[in-house]
Structure 1
Amino acid sequence: MHTSQTLTDQRRRPAPVLAALTLALSVIAGTAASPAAAEAAPYGDTLTGWADRLDAAATLLEAEAERPVTRIGSGPLLKKGTSGERVERLTQRLAELGFLDAARRGDLFDEQVDTAVRAFQFSQRMKVDGLVGGGTRVALDRSPQEAAAQMRRSALSMRAFRDTAPDTVILVNLPSQTTTLVRDGEEALTMRSIVGRPSRETPLLQDQITHVIVNPTWTVPPTVLKEDKLPLLRAKGTPGIANAVVYLDGAPVEPGVVDWRNVSPRRVRIVQQPGDHNALGRYRFNMTNPYNIYLHGTNEPRLFDREIRTVSSGCVRLEDARGMAEALLATEHVSTARLDRMLDRQEPQWIKLSQPVPVRFVYWTATVDDRDAVRLHPDIYDLNEDPVPAAAPDPSGPTSADPMPPAQRA
């Protein structure tokens, strides 16, 4: 039987042991809202609808009796052909959720387990690939009570944002790894993003974009320089960065002829020149925070295909940096043709925004998609135990986000 038909059968087959989380989420998915209506609604109304939807979904989950939840736990990727204790816990969890017959439990990830994992992923509107990585594992491990708590927190935070955000704002939701431009109260642009890894968190900031830089350079940030690039210089005589200039004590040097063994990081600066190879891509959106967090493009578009995109050193990478640049520069009378000419010059060009654009970083682990279905996102920085603030904090002091002195992060 083809896998697609098997998934259809899995969705149609009654599951008397189906756990509350999957059951409730399938019920609250409801009927998709009209795309035209969703596009026409002011963003504040959209957030009100989302918050109401999340509260209603949480109410359904909270009404369910508590049931056992087998936790798979963190560890290496699980896929067809792997085996061991975590696979055994995976099959137990799939059986609890009704995606696998209890008699098929075991420690081998076989064809039937693969089909069950794909059915679960389909039910959660996740990427259907049969791989139990970070996103799928977190979704499987989540209890109904935890899901309801995520929805309540996110609904509360959405209402606070709705009541305090300006009409024009860039919204970065860290758990969903998405960035949205709201202009004059209406959603203008939404795209996938890449945010900081757990060891280098993107902080929850209130800030503003003051400049757009076309063809930016990239200066290797201190942490990356110390932990990655200087060891590479010592081992191979190269920083491993395309089209980069290495500075020692402020002067450019040929890295292959320098003995780097006793050189301290503070004496070294590495600057990557503009171009498609540049780590920031072709666009950088400067902000004003003391951690030098900013938005930018990337030279690794393949990373946007990942379900969990927490791989940066704190800055936010945009899937459609060109689209964001065009949207922000339209008010500065920079046409697409002029932007193309600026790109062709292959040197950094700064455009100051006559009206800085506010940016708000939020932490919503539950959202609602364009089909009116609830989406739950991983608690990437383990903040769900913290109370939800009425508004994003002002960056007036150090945070747990590995703050750096002014330098270019990516």
Structure 2
Amino acid sequence: MKRLSIIFAGLTFTAVAGFYFYSRASEQKLSTPRSTHYQGDAPKAAKTIDLQSLVGLKERPAEETLNKTQVEMILGYLSNASDHGLQTIDLAPMYETLQTGRNLRADEKAALIEAIVKFGEEVGGSRIDWTQARKDWALRPTARDVRTSFETAIQSDTLRNWLDNLAPSHDAYRSLVGARNQYAQILLNGGFIKLNSRTGLVKGADNPQVAILRSRLAQEDFEAGPTPTPNLFDAALANQLSLYQQAHGLNPNGEMGEKTFAALEVPIEARIKQIDLNLERERWLPRTNPATRIEVNIPEATLVYYKDNRPALTMATIVGANSTKTPIFASNVHSIVLNPPWHVPRSISRRQRVQPPGPNNALGRVKFDFLNDFSVYLHDTPNHAPFSATRRNLSHGCVRLDKPKDLAELLLAPQGINRAQIDEITSHVVTRNIKLQTQTPVALLYRTAYVAKAGANINKVQFVDDVYEWDSVLENLIASSKQPRSSKPTSVANDAKIIAAP
């Protein structure tokens, strides 16, 4: 029988050809585990867990029944742990044992089980100590008993299905995992190409620096296509540069300005860390997304309405200012109020008053109500000028909409209420509260890296400014959660100021 030699961690193993390990995407031949991917706080020298340090732990019932095929499945899955931005595990000792043709000892199985349970807990959103988290991070992952479900999977011989369902299955998470793979590969290939200077990078220029820019953009799939004049800054290159700018929240003018140059010079390690932090936040969402839903991306100040998992409406929004941040949470839109009055909170006016409906009402003509602990809602505004600004974190915490009637029309259509009727009602000042027959899920999210699902940059990573600096807060929280936990919340949990206002 043909034999296959594998070099791993300085050791050479020999395996029988046809020996397979299970991975989430497909079954693959036994291969070197990917343990060199960037791991957030150690981009060039990934930290590993020494599985042998876990040997000797108290054995559990699963160790007695864990067969060789199941061991192979677990090892195959753990070899992809870094794809999720989680700590890479040193699998060499386990692989070495299997290369001898025998199964693991009971204590080795115990170590492997501890590793997969830990991974299952972390990929389920348990990396941080939620008692220390900000109060306005109100989107919390559902608690799961990973160890019990693992033992059930072993006993019922459903391990493969259990592994497949460990990580979130919604598209935003899966596509970001794929993006992390792409950027990890760029890192392994030496990182981003350095431009060093933006001198000579202007439309119509013809110099070697332009060819370097072409190569740099191509690393992130912004390719201008083959050209006999790579040194020429032509229209095709300007178009790809404008798409890059759009994907990074910059003015898409196709010109090499100071901010565009700065974005191109951000190290690959920083981009991978940005992806890792967003993978963590995606784990706080339900395992699958409702097919019809509203998502607000706070740092980008945008709203997308999904119908059957496809973007049906996109619009600009205005979100909370840095002093009155919009919280992260999920709820369900239960009512639409046309011509809403506004009950002005004391945080804005010293004397409470009610602003009547009308053209000058701060809530505009449409308000979308949903239950939450912050008195936050989506609403219209009489002033639409700020929607053209690049930075739109200006409100007192609520989310102002650029196209509220478009959204109302989509949500009310199943109830036979059309745009003409909405326009007629809002041409007057009588309040009309319409209860939705089917509530629409809504999530206010904080995504500084995500994969676009529509538009010119479809399937490309979009990097957004961290307007509230919550990426660094999350990074610090992950680091501190690795330490012994205190039952007393820190100031991080109390740094949340929510004002019930537009």
Does residue 412 of structure 2 align to residue 329 of structure 1? yes
Matches within 5 A, 1:7-86: 46-47=171-172, 50-63=175-188, 65=190
Change (3 A) 1:179 1:209: same
Change (3 A) 1:158 1:290: closer
CA deviation map 1:182-225 (0-9, x unaligned) = 23444332222211111111111122212101011223333332
CA distance in 1, matches of 2:316, 2:436: 24
Q: Assess if the C-alpha contact under 8 Å between 2:186 and 2:192 holds in 1.
A: no
Structure 1 position 158, deviation (Å): 4.1
Q: Assess if the C-alpha contact under 8 Å between 1:57 and 1:148 holds in 2.
A: no
Point out the more displaced range, 295-304 or 135-144.
135-144
- Which of 175, 180, 183 is the matching residue for 2:304? 180
CA distance in 2, matches of 1:192, 1:179: 6
CA deviation map 1:196-255 (0-9, x unaligned) = 111111111122212101011223333332xxxxxxxxxxxxxxxxxxxxxxxxxxxxxx
Does residue 305 of structure 2 align to residue 203 of structure 1? no
When Rg is computed on C-alpha atoms for both structures, the one with the higher figure is 2
- Which of 177, 199, 213 is the matching residue for 2:337? 213
Paired residue for 2:465? 378
Does residue 354 of structure 2 align to residue 271 of structure 1? yes
Change (3 A) 1:290 1:47: closer
Structure 1 position 270, deviation (Å): 3.9
Point out the more displaced range, 297-306 or 60-69.
60-69
Matches within 5 A, 1:230-379: 265=350, 268-369=351-452, 370=454, 371=457, 372-379=459-466
Matches within 5 A, 1:222-233: 222-225=346-349
Which residue identity is paired with 1:358?
A: P
Long gaps (5+) in structure 1: 1-43, 70-92, 102-117, 226-264, 390-397
CA distance in 2, matches of 1:315, 1:356: 20
Higher relative contact order (CA 8 A, sep 6+): 1
Structure 1 position 140, deviation (Å): 6.7
Structure 1 position 351, deviation (Å): 0.7
- Which of 192, 197, 216 is the matching residue for 1:95? 197
Paired residue for 1:152? 276
Does residue 124 of structure 2 align to residue 124 of structure 1? no
Structure 1 position 288, deviation (Å): 1.3
Change (3 A) 1:291 1:161: closer
Which residue identity is paired with 1:59?
A: A
The TM-score normalised by the length of structure 2 is 0.48
Point out the more displaced range, 59-68 or 373-382.
59-68
Long gaps (5+) in structure 2: 1-168, 208-238, 479-492
Change (3 A) 1:357 1:61: same
Change (3 A) 1:99 1:120: farther
CA distance in 1, matches of 2:262, 2:379: 28
Paired residue for 1:403? 498
Structure 1 position 333, deviation (Å): 2.3
CA deviation map 1:337-384 (0-9, x unaligned) = 322221122222111112322211222111233333321001111121
Give the match's secondary structure for 1:342: helix
Change (3 A) 1:199 1:192: same
Q: Assess if the C-alpha contact under 8 Å between 2:365 and 2:380 holds in 1.
A: yes
CA distance in 2, matches of 1:207, 1:305: 28
Change (3 A) 1:297 1:194: same
Point out the more displaced range, 304-313 or 55-64.
55-64
Change (3 A) 1:67 1:339: closer
Structure 1 position 49, deviation (Å): 6.0
Structure 1 position 316, deviation (Å): 0.8
**For this pair of structures, how many residues does the alignment match?**
280
CA distance in 2, matches of 1:201, 1:319: 19
CA RMSD, 1 decimal: 3.9
Q: Assess if the C-alpha contact under 8 Å between 1:191 and 1:320 holds in 2.
A: yes
Change (3 A) 1:67 1:191: closer
Which residue identity is paired with 1:338?
A: Q
CA distance in 1, matches of 2:273, 2:436: 40
CA distance in 1, matches of 2:407, 2:374: 22
Point out the more displaced range, 214-223 or 318-327.
214-223
Point out the more displaced range, 214-223 or 172-181.
214-223
Give the match's secondary structure for 1:291: coil
The TM-score normalised by the length of structure 1 is 0.58
CA deviation map 1:36-76 (0-9, x unaligned) = xxxxxxxx77536632442133214433657999xxxxxxx
- Which of 277, 291, 299 is the matching residue for 1:167? 291
